Every structure is written in structure tokens, then in C-alpha cells.
Amino acid sequence: MKTLIKLFILFAAAGFLVILTSCGQNGKNSKSGALTSNAAERVFVPPGEHDEFYAFISGGFSGQLAIYGLPSGRLFKIIPVFALDGEKAYGFNEETKPMLQTSYGFVPWDDAHHPDLSQTNGEIDGRWCFINANNTPRIARISLKTFETEEIIEIPNSAGNHSSSFVTENSEYVIAGTRFSVPIPQKDISIDEYKGNFKATLSFIKIDPKDGKMDIAFQILMPGFDYDLTHPGRGKSHGWMFFTTYNTEEANTLLEVNASQNDKDFIAAINWKKAEEYIKAGKFKKMRTKYAHNEYDENTHTATSTMRKEVKILDASVLPGLVYFLPTPKSPHGCDVDPSGEYIVGAGKLAASLTVHSFTKMLKAIEDKKFDGEAYGIPILNFDAINAGTVVQPGLGPLHTEFDDKGYAYTSFFISSEVVKWQLGTWKVIDRKPTYYSVGHVMIPGGNSRKPFGKYLVALNKITKDRFLPTGPEVCQSAQLYDITGDKMELLLDFPTIGEPHYAAAAPASLIAPNSQKIYRLEDNKHPYATKSERETKVVRKGKEVHIYMTTIRSHFAPDNIEGIKVGDKVYFHVTNLEQDYDVPHGIAMIGANTSELLIMPGQTETFVWEPKQVGVWPFYCTDFCSALHQEMQGYVRVSPRGSNTPLKWSLDGE
């Protein structure tokens, strides 16, 4: 019995201990709870108030670009770029179909990775956002006035357009690289003949400083490695571009093994000022090729696609001083340049350490010819001669680095799922914070510029697992917001994003919001089928084609009764929104039309095509809740049999 009591006391004591320790944990939890509530305050933007930053986050395999506010993480708009969007009729209406034209024909989807913002003097200027299509190589330019895709240029002689679209510090160029080397020009050869026969190009696309229009100035022909990521030099290194490479083994199968054999791959340093000299000196070859250039005109609200036929090629193997290889350990992925332009960080994704090269040392090594051989005629610089330092074992699987304005760098680690803060120059690790989970890129507003805004860091995650309410096998994508103003980073917020968020760019709202356009002026509407008043509405037959010149205004269509359409006609609805009031779009959708709705902004004209297949009277209606009488915004089209002679007529309110 005594032993029993003793045992009981022992258990009781143990139980008490357990309670004590769990209390301790509770204490700890409540501390983090207090921190959490404080975090809530720091990301809370009261109703009706605005965020501090615009964040442009790539939509990855959705092909689009999403705009969020920081610090709230609220989603404002998804801008259709490389994929069809039924909501906005992008790629569905007659006006935007040409935007998705390529040399391969109409490509309705792509994989959008790296948004980057235009710059002036190394600072973000809030004019345009560029983003790449990885699958069918293209670069798009988005206006930050209308927040619409204004231009898409296809990149010929490329595949896997991944090391794109990064902007130089005066927006001289937006740069695109090749990840999947291919025969250039394309030809029918055995895949086994990869080595030496497959090539890559690095494209320099000139940006018109006035209107942002893109034009491929030249392409640099490179050995058949995989050019993974890039960043421009800035400040002292302005005029250079740095590309990470992997698969310098030039393997063409089972790359996960065969492209991981070399101890060091390269960062390719491109002297584009030198390239400009070579172009001036006529050292280029003209190559026949084919690529689409698609432009959306803000005044006609219409895109045009033109096929271009030629590019200028500079061959890096034969033009000295154009390209140097910087040996960098283990299949480097991220290639990031600090705000001063001195340090080039290569994140060897299979290495345990981060390699930092010095731009000054690189120039010295070139001057002193400290070469360790060459690859395809391109000098390989001596590693020790260019190395600025190594961040020793900061984590596992380093991918990308961004910088703040205080001399710190922040690197994402995919495998160990964390962000590590370290100091430039001392290469010491300062802090580390977990990400949930497996972070890819990180982003600091103004990151790719001389002037980062070191207040927040956004981690763009690859996996979310249990972080949000489950939604079946496919769960949401996410980003995480960290406060980086203190010595230690603080996780403030998880927010879901459209998928998949790769890279992002952000800018202060004050730089962009004041320029945001409110309406399109009806006066400036130069659409060939624009109808600028209800008096001018009409229906015109041209053989089997019928053009309806229609208008919308709260809350009716003009005309809203149309007769004389016949089965087999091709009916074009050219709809002009006569509104000149902010945030009063009208929509239109036709029963059975094999296309999307239109969503027409004030002052804009858009067109959809309807090919009626059945006799009858068919309704159409406004899809955007435009006013208190939105439900009344509807109309009918009478469709008669093919050979009938129902006269063509149209009316509104019997007139």
C-alpha cells in the first residue's frame, strides 16, 4: 500500500511537472501571441486606406501577373499577360487576339516568371513592368498607367526563356536568356549530338525611353549551357550583365545527375557596352528567323501582330572581351548584384556555401589575364582572383539573394526552407527565419535597383502543405511578409497568391498610384468600329458578315432589338462604352456565343463574334453590375433561317 501511495505521489509530481512545463510553453506561446497581435497591427490597413507598396507577383503557370498591396497582402488585380482570360476577354475579343500570336501561331498560355520594373538612373521609375514567358519565349511590357499588357515580343533562337526579363539601370535594355540550348538555327539532328552543336542566345531588347516599345537590338550566341538567371550590373558595374549557368557538362539526358558533375559551373559576365561597340563596328551576322511582335494601341484599343524576320547575332566565341566566365560552385541558380554594383552573388544550389564575386577584382583579373583556360573561346577567370568572399554554410540549397539599403543581404534556402540574413563584406550570418515552405525567390521592394526600400521582405514559397484551409489535392500558393527593419527579421503575414509565384517586384504606391488612369477619353477613341453616340449606332451587313455598332450607357444597350440576322451569319458586336465616369464598366454576353463576355471600360470599344446556329430570338445582357437598373440592361437578336428575307433593322425604345 505504501508503495502504491509512493507511486501515486510520484505520478502526481510528474503530472505537476508536465503542467509546469506546458505552462512554460503556454507562456512562450502567449509571448508569440503578443508578437502576433503586434504583427497584425503592422499589416493592418484600415478599411478605405491604402497600402504602402504595390507588389507585382508573377503568376507562374497561370501565365499572368498579379498585383497585391503591401503590407496587407490584399489582391487588387490579375493582369492577363500570356494566357487567355475570360473575365477580361483577353485573347477572346477581336482586339486582343493578336497579343497571343507567335511564330508558332496562337499560343494561349505560358509560364510567367520574373517581373521587373523600369528604372531611371538606377532607381525604379514606376512606368512599366516587364515579365517573361518561359515556355514559348516572349517578353511582355505592362503599362503602369493602364495596368494592361501593351506589348509582347517573341524571342527567336531561344527555348526556356528563364533568365529573363531583367532591366538595366536606365532601362536601356530588358534582357532575356536561354535555359534550354537548342540547335541555332533549328535543324533535324540527333539529340546525342548536343555537345558543341546546341547553342544559346542572350537577347538584348532595346526599350524606347519615350513609350517603352521593345525591339531586339542584338543576340549574343553562347555555348550550349543552361543560362538560368541574370541580373544587371549597376553603378560601377553598369554596362555588364551577369548570367548563372548550369549544365556546363552539356548533358542532354538525366540532367539531374549528368548536369551535376562539374565542381564549378560559371557565371557569364557580359560586357554589353562592348557588344554595342561590336554592333557599331558591324561585327554582327544577320540571321534569318521569325518572331512575332505584338502591340496594343491605347487609342484604337486594338492589338496588331507583325512577324519579324531578322536578328543581329554577335558570336561570343570569336569576339574578344565580350564575355568572361566566372567559375562558381555547383550549378548556381540565383545571380544577384548588390546595390553598389560591386558584389555578384552566385547561389550554387547544390553547394553548402554562397560564393560572392567582386566586380573590381574581376576587372583586375581581366586586365592581368588571370585565366584558367577557356571554354569555346571564352576566357575562364581564375576563381581566387575574383572571389570577394564566401558565406560559409548559411543553409541548404541557396537560391536567390536580395539586398536592403543597410549593407545586408537576404538569401532564400529552398532545402532548409528559410531566409538567411547576412552582411556584405564580413560575410557573417546575422539571422535566419523559417519559411513555410521551401522558399524560391525573395523580394525586397526596389530590390533590383541602386535604391532598395529595406522595410519588408516577401518570401515566395513553392509549397504550402498545412498553412491554409485545405482545398483538395491542389492547395494554394503563398507568399510571406517579413519586417526587416530590425536586426532580426520578423514574420508578419502569410498570404495566398495565384500560382505559381516565382519572382516579384514592388514599388512605393506614391510612385505609381497618381498615374493610374481612370477612364479612356471617348474623344481619343480611334477604334475603327467605335460608336461615339447613340445616334450613330447601326447594323451593317456585308455578305454573311454583320457588324453591329452598339453602345452602352447606364443602363441600356443601343440598339437593344435587332432583326434580320440569319443562321450562318458571322455577327460582330462592336460595343463602345459611352460612360465617362470612373469605375463604370459595362459587360456584354450573348447566349451560345463560342467566346467570352466583353468587359468594356468607360470610353473603350471591344468586339466579340457570334455565329448563330439556330433560328429563334436570342437574348444578350450586361454582365457587370453597372447601376440600380443593371438587370434591365438586356436585349434580343432575332435569327431567321438562311434564305429568309427578314429585313435588317435595329432599334432602341421603338426608335
Taking alpha carbons only, the member of 634, 527, 649 closest to residue 576 is: 527
Contacting another protein within 394-423 (CB under 8 A) = none
Least separation in angstroms between residue 553's CB and another protein is: 7
Q: Which is nearer to another protein, 106 or 625 (CB)?
A: 625
User: What span, in angstroms and rounded, lies between the C-alpha atoms of 509 and 500?
Assistant: 24
Which span (130-138, 538-546, 576-584, 587-595) binds another protein, by CB under 8 A? 576-584
Q: Which is nearer to another protein, 430 or 519 (CB)?
A: 519
Which span (92-100, 385-393, 476-484, 579-587) binds another protein, by CB under 8 A? 579-587
**C-alpha cell read off for 287:** 540571321
Q: Which is nearer to another protein, 582 or 645 (CB)?
A: 582
Helix (H) or strand (E) holding 457: strand 456-461
Q: Which is nearer to another protein, 380 or 652 (CB)?
A: 652
Q: Which is nearer to another protein, 469 or 628 (CB)?
A: 628
Helix (H, G, I), strand (E, B) or coil at 49: coil
Which span (161-169, 187-195, 227-235, 575-583) binds another protein, by CB under 8 A? 575-583
Least separation in angstroms between residue 590's CB and another protein is: 25
Least separation in angstroms between residue 54's CB and another protein is: 21
Which span (115-123, 190-198, 577-585, 634-642) binds another protein, by CB under 8 A? 577-585
Are the C-beta atoms of residues 409 and 394 closer than 8 Å to each other? no
Contacting another protein within 229-258 (CB under 8 A) = none
Contacting another protein within 621-640 (CB under 8 A) = 628-629
Q: Which is nearer to another protein, 595 or 627 (CB)?
A: 627
Q: Which is nearer to another protein, 326 or 626 (CB)?
A: 626
Least separation in angstroms between residue 521's CB and another protein is: 7
- Of 42, 186, 581, 619, the residue at the interface with another protein (CB under 8 A) is 581
| Secondary structure letter of residue 500 according to DSSP | P
User: What span, in angstroms and rounded, lies between the C-alpha atoms of 270 and 163?
Assistant: 13
Whether residue 165 is preceded by a cis peptide bond, meaning omega within 30 degrees of 0, is yes
469 lies in the site for another protein, by CB under 8 A: no
Least separation in angstroms between residue 161's CB and another protein is: 41
Q: Which is nearer to another protein, 368 or 581 (CB)?
A: 581
Which span (137-145, 284-292, 406-414, 573-581) binds another protein, by CB under 8 A? 573-581
Other CB atoms within 10 Å distance of the CB of residue 15: 10
Helix (H, G, I), strand (E, B) or coil at 564: strand
Helix (H, G, I), strand (E, B) or coil at 347: strand
Taking alpha carbons only, the member of 540, 545, 543, 542 closest to residue 612 is: 545
Helix (H, G, I), strand (E, B) or coil at 438: coil
Q: Which is nearer to another protein, 198 or 520 (CB)?
A: 520
- Of 519, 567, 589, 609, the residue at the interface with another protein (CB under 8 A) is 519
Beta strand 561-566 with 634-640 is: parallel
Which span (265-273, 450-458, 541-549, 580-588) binds another protein, by CB under 8 A? 580-588
Taking alpha carbons only, the member of 172, 79, 53, 70 closest to residue 119 is: 172
CA distances from 95 to 84, 278, 474, 602, 606 (A): 13, 40, 34, 16, 7
Taking alpha carbons only, the member of 240, 250, 296 closest to residue 271 is: 240
Burial of 188 (0-12, 13-18, 19+ CB in 10 A): exposed
Taking alpha carbons only, the member of 623, 621, 583, 625 closest to residue 603 is: 583
Least separation in angstroms between residue 632's CB and another protein is: 8
Least separation in angstroms between residue 587's CB and another protein is: 18
Cβ neighbours of residue 169 closer than 8 Å, sequence gap 6 or more: 119, 121, 122, 232, 234, 235, 238, 449, 450
517 lies in the site for another protein, by CB under 8 A: no
Which span (145-153, 326-334, 357-365, 578-586) binds another protein, by CB under 8 A? 578-586
580 lies in the site for another protein, by CB under 8 A: yes
Extended strands (E) in 20-148: 53-58, 65-70, 75-79, 101-102, 105-106, 116-120, 123-133, 138-143
Q: Which is nearer to another protein, 193 or 581 (CB)?
A: 581
Q: Which is nearer to another protein, 449 or 551 (CB)?
A: 551
- Of 145, 213, 554, 630, the residue at the interface with another protein (CB under 8 A) is 554
Least separation in angstroms between residue 549's CB and another protein is: 20
Which span (56-64, 137-145, 282-290, 574-582) binds another protein, by CB under 8 A? 574-582
Q: Which is nearer to another protein, 280 or 582 (CB)?
A: 582
Least separation in angstroms between residue 581's CB and another protein is: 5
DSSP string of 348-416? ETT-SSEEEEEHHHHHHHHHTT-EEEEETTEEEEPHHHHEEEEE-S--SSEEEEEE-TTSEEEEEETTT
561 lies in the site for another protein, by CB under 8 A: no
Size of the site for another protein (CB under 8 A): 10
Distance between first and last Cα of the chain: 105
Q: Which is nearer to another protein, 26 or 631 (CB)?
A: 631
Q: Which is nearer to another protein, 184 or 578 (CB)?
A: 578
Least separation in angstroms between residue 585's CB and another protein is: 14
User: What span, in angstroms and rounded, lies between the C-alpha atoms of 616 and 624?
Assistant: 26
Least separation in angstroms between residue 533's CB and another protein is: 11
Taking alpha carbons only, the member of 275, 271, 246 closest to residue 261 is: 246
521 lies in the site for another protein, by CB under 8 A: yes
Q: Which is nearer to another protein, 236 or 521 (CB)?
A: 521
Backbone phi and psi for residue 191, each to the nearest 5 degrees, phi listed first: -60, -30
Least separation in angstroms between residue 578's CB and another protein is: 8
Taking alpha carbons only, the member of 436, 401, 433 closest to residue 419 is: 433
* Interface contacts to another protein, rule CB under 8 A: 519, 521, 553-554, 579-582, 628-629
